Amino acid sequence: MNQIIKLGFRLILVSGLLASPACQRVVEPHTSSLSLSQTEPLQFSSTASEASITVTTNSSDWVALVDQDWLHASKDGSMLRLNVEANPTTDTRLASVQISSGSQTKELQIEQSGRSLEFNAQKSIKFGQFGGEKRFYVDASSPSWTVSATEDWVQVTPYTLQGEIAIKVGENSARDPRTAQVQVRDALGKLVHTVEVNQLPILYIVMPYPEFGVSSEVLRLFETERYSRLFNQPDGRSNLFQWGYETVSPIFDYIVYRVKNGKYVSASVYSTNRNPENLKGALGEEIRGMLVRGGYKKVLDELYYSDATNTEVNIITTTRNPNITFTNYPAQKPYPSFDKLPLGITKFYVGRLSGQEGSGEDRIIEIVKEGAREDEIIEYQKQQGWTMIPPYDPRDPKNAGDSPQERERKRDQSSRKTRVPLYFDANKPIPAEYWREFYEQLVFERDGQYRQYRLGRTYEYYINNYVDPTDPFYGQKSIRVSGTALEVSRESFADPQQFFYWDDNSASLYVTKEFRTLLAQAGFVYSDTIDSGRAVSYYNPDLEIEFFFRIGETLVDGKNKPSVVVVQVAPRLRDAK
């Protein structure tokens, strides 16, 4: 009513003045003013908060209007109080407040920060050599986040709505592991979380599982973890205790574990493509360095031993399958042994005869190593106190009552001769005077112990002038047997405990520490275990001799008794054509 009255008064006054020009006076127009103590955009944090600004005006009243529900304005005298609700998002939000007084209007911008992104996820992830893709869940307070990788070999994909991150890496072909980071940032670009990505290097040199005595299942899990593939396992027939795995290593392509009585007792890692060079040179030194760092002490260039685990490592380069063999030896009591390794004669013959069958210059004779001849062997054994057993003659009256089995046994335990011609003639019989006899087996006995030598044939060239000059063979270059030389020696020993001991836990035979020491002192290194663990071979690279011993039975005092047979042989020329 007052406003209306005032307006009416003003209107009447104005009309009266217009009607009485003699009383006219000039009225100045009214100008309102408005100012704010805050002119720049007002900043609020993400939490619920309040701010006040001063409104100065020459008008009796002023009003404030807001354009967002989360912003509230109230008037307190000349103060404008602004209240913001907590920002539930991570995004910054904007609003404005309009202040009016009379004809004047001012607008103030309001800016509230988003809440900090709460982000929880795993902090590391691991990939094998071949990489792949892995996903993991995240717990984020908002879907407004981004991810990136610090290295280009890592591909990362965010699934913000599902709350997942996918990380994909390729194969690592380097010998060193590699590391990258996946970084998570909020909508403002602030780093809120880091995931470390680790990838294993190429599995270059593999070694077997380090703890002996575990089950085959533990070995399977270990090999599966490093991408190995099982290709062989015990079948109860030809394979009783070997578990074979194909590895991804470029140096050792497969590994064989031996599990006896349910317990892992030894393992061999085999060189790729049967290449012995993988165990020599710089790579061989690297492997040996790994053994030393693993607690093994060098005994010989190819023999290492760990006192802590009672484990022997043999680096084998002399077989068809070069490998590194790890053998764990159970605790043993002292056993009887020899004063020195029972080698005997070590002068073995290695020869090569190649070419087509028959006589002629296309036949090549190569004597790689000279071997002991029969007269040398007989003299040596005589000096050692051994008695030679002459060839067995089944026609001798004293042998007339022998059974077939007895004849076979006596024949094996006696010397043996072979009869060869001095020349060859395809058209007519060779006269008796042109035949010669050589020993192909020599057997000696001493105190019930037998020593056997097998002799191989040696050859020579000759000009065939034994026949009639009109014979087609006359004057031709031919080959004939010139004699025999030592190829293999075999000896029986009545006491197996001089070589082996038995372990109940693994149900296995092991070479005694005493005998292994003798072998090492004589320069012999482990080569192979065969015949279900009943036979073991060692090799001497300087003498080029294989020392092979097997537990079995030997005739002692007319009865078969447990014994060990030792065989020595010069390895054949594996590359001979």
Does one domain contain both 514 and 377?
yes
Tell me, yes or no, whether 471 and 400 share the same domain: yes
Q: What is the pLDDT of residue 339?
A: 92
pLDDT for the residue numbered 52 = 93
Q: What is the DSSP string of 314-373?
A: EEE-SSSS-EEEEEEPPP-------SS---------EEEEESSSSSSTT-EEEEEE---B
Task: Report pLDDT digits (tens) over 114-130.
Answer: 877 778 888 999 998 89
DSSP annotation of 375 reads: H
Can you tell me the mean pLDDT for 486-505? Answer: 89
Note whether 128 and 247 are same-domain residues: no
Among the three residues 89, 112, 135, which one is the final residue of a domain in this structure? 112
Same domain? 560 vs 512: yes
- Of the pLDDT bands very low, low, confident and very high (cuts 50, 70, 90), residue 20 is very low
Q: Tell me whether residue 355 is in a domain.
A: yes
453 shares its domain with 403? yes
Question: How much is the pLDDT for 359?
Answer: 46
Distances (CA, A) of 524 to 26, 309, 328, 490, 545: 133, 22, 19, 17, 9
pLDDT tier for residue 27 given thresholds of 50, 70 and 90: low
Q: What is the mean pLDDT of the chain?
A: 85
Distance CA(180)–CA(195), nearest Å, equals: 9
Least Cα distance to 493 among 342, 334, 390, 340 occurs for 342
Q: What is the CATH number of the domain that holds 131?
A: 2.60.40.10
Say if CB 108 and CB 62 are below 8 A apart: no
Q: In the chain, pLDDT over 90 holds for what percent of residues? A: 47
Res 360 pLDDT > 60: no
Give the per-residue pLDDT at 379: 96
The residue ranking higher by pLDDT, 468 or 517, is 517
Q: Assess whether 393 and 497 both reside in one domain.
A: yes
Give the gyration radius of the chain's Cα atoms: 50
Provide CB contacts within 8 A for 155, sequence distance 6+: 149, 167, 168, 169
* Residue predicted with more confidence, 18 or 467: 467
Mean pLDDT computed over 217-223: 97
Give the domain extent around 297: 216-328
pLDDT-derived band at 223 (thresholds 50, 70, 90) equals very high
Burial class (CB in 10 A: 0-12, 13-18, 19+), 433: exposed
- The reply to whether 403 and 533 lie within a common domain is yes
Residue pLDDT, tens place only, 144-180: 788 999 999 999 999 988 888 999 999 998 999 999 9
CA distances from 568 to 103, 377, 537, 543 (A): 121, 15, 9, 11
Cα 325 to Cα 93, 202, 291: the distances in Å are: 70, 22, 12
pLDDT of 499 reads 93
In this prediction, residue 154 carries a pLDDT of 97
| Same domain for 166 and 44 | no
DSSP string over 186-198: ETT--EEEEEEEE
State how many domains the chain has. Answer: 4
Evaluate whether 219 touches 257 at the Cβ level (below 8 Å): yes
* Same domain, yes or no: 167 and 279: no
Mean pLDDT of 265-277: 91
pLDDT above 70 covers a percentage of the chain that reads 89
How many CB atoms within 10 Å of residue 450? 22
- The pLDDT of 381-385, averaged and rounded, is 94
Within-domain flag for 482: yes
For residues 354 and 351, give the distance between their C-alpha atoms in angstroms, rounded to a whole number: 10
What local confidence, expressed as pLDDT, does residue 453 receive? 94
In a domain, 441, yes or no: yes
As given in the structure block, the two tokens for residue 427 are: 């058209």
Strand pairing report for 164-169 and 132-137: antiparallel
Higher pLDDT, residue 556 or 443:
443
Residue 160 tokens read as 């913000």
- The Cα-based distances of 381 to 90, 348, 442, 554 in angstroms read 98, 16, 10, 20
pLDDT by residue (tens digit) across 540-577?
Answer: 888 888 898 988 765 545 555 567 888 888 765 444 33
